[in-house]
Amino acid sequence: MVLIFPPISMVTGPLNTAKRLNLPMKRRFLWGKSKKTAATSPTDWLRWLLSGKVRRSWLTVMSRSEYLQRNDNFVDYKTSAFVGGGRIWVITTQTQDDGSFLWVPIWLHQKTDPPPSKPWKVEYQAFNDTWDFENPDVHAATETLRDALIDIHKFASDLELPFWPSLFERALGWLEGIEGELRHRDLSPEGALPEDARRLLYACQTSWAFGGMGSWNDIYETQHPEYPTVRKALFDAVNAGIVAAVNASGRNL
């Protein structure tokens, strides 16, 4: 099955795609070398999920090096600045007969007309593979993120960095239940998540500091001995927190 988000065109073939992306060859499309289209938009895909074919879905995140089974020293918090970079986010779906498969995003660049046309396309491909669902421990993920935020806030404050201490304070405020600024209020529709998971998700969004120019990756204190530790701790905590918060909504369809 292939879930396609516009703008998109079909890629050449599953084996070529797997080799080009260095996907482990044990991962194959659900029907061998063939491809079928399950949906051409997110809305159609959700309808497909609710049609009775799928019992449950959950979110998983994995380091790029681990997923691609390569030892090329990918640093996910650095590559998150680039298209298709960062960690690999996967949706696993469990069928009514307890089969399961995962949907992996494949980013491809295509020739296009001049701006504002969009040259990047994303195709979600389903493979016969899965990672087990674990009941999310929202409390543990919250405490881990809180510790990471406290440490990185102290680091930024001690060095008198502009902007960053207030950002990390705002993220801590979400964990404590204090109202704060949320740019994307549709991140969690009302009633979709328990209150503690909702606060955790908002805190993760606020404390996402990774990217290119002007991001936490770009500050000049990168040579400070504590910088790699606080950066990695926050990056790991944010990614784990998103997974724990989103999967807190997990229930049978």
Range of the domain at 225: 138-247
Among the candidates 127, 162, 188, a domain finishes at 127
**Between 155 and 112, the higher pLDDT residue:** 155
Please state, for a pLDDT cut of 90, what percent of the chain lies above it. Answer: 27
- Count of domains for the chain: 2
252 domain residue, yes or no: no
Question: Do 122 and 11 share a structural domain?
Answer: yes
Question: Do 142 and 104 share a structural domain?
Answer: no
253 domain residue, yes or no: no
3-state SS string for the chain: CEEEECCCCCCCCHHHHHHHCCCCCCCCECCECCCCEEECCHHHHHHHHHHHHEEEEEEEEECHHHHHCCCCCCCHHHHCCCCCCCCEEEEEEEECCCCEEEEEEEEEECCCCCCCCCCEEEEEEEECCCCCCCCCCHHHHHHHHHHHHHHHHHHHHHCCCCCHHHHHHHHHHHHCCCCCCCCCCCCCCCCCCCHHHHHHHHHHHHCCCCCCCCCHHHCHHHHCCCHHHHHHHHHHHHHHHHHHHHHCCCCCC
Question: Do 123 and 6 share a structural domain?
Answer: yes
Mean predicted confidence (pLDDT) in 184-205: 83
Question: Do 142 and 88 share a structural domain?
Answer: no
Question: Do 97 and 16 share a structural domain?
Answer: yes
Mean predicted confidence (pLDDT) in 74-97: 79
List pLDDT tens digits, range 32-77.
456 778 788 888 888 888 887 788 888 888 887 766 666 656 678 7
Question: Do 12 and 95 share a structural domain?
Answer: yes
Whether this prediction's pTM lies above 0.95 is answered by no
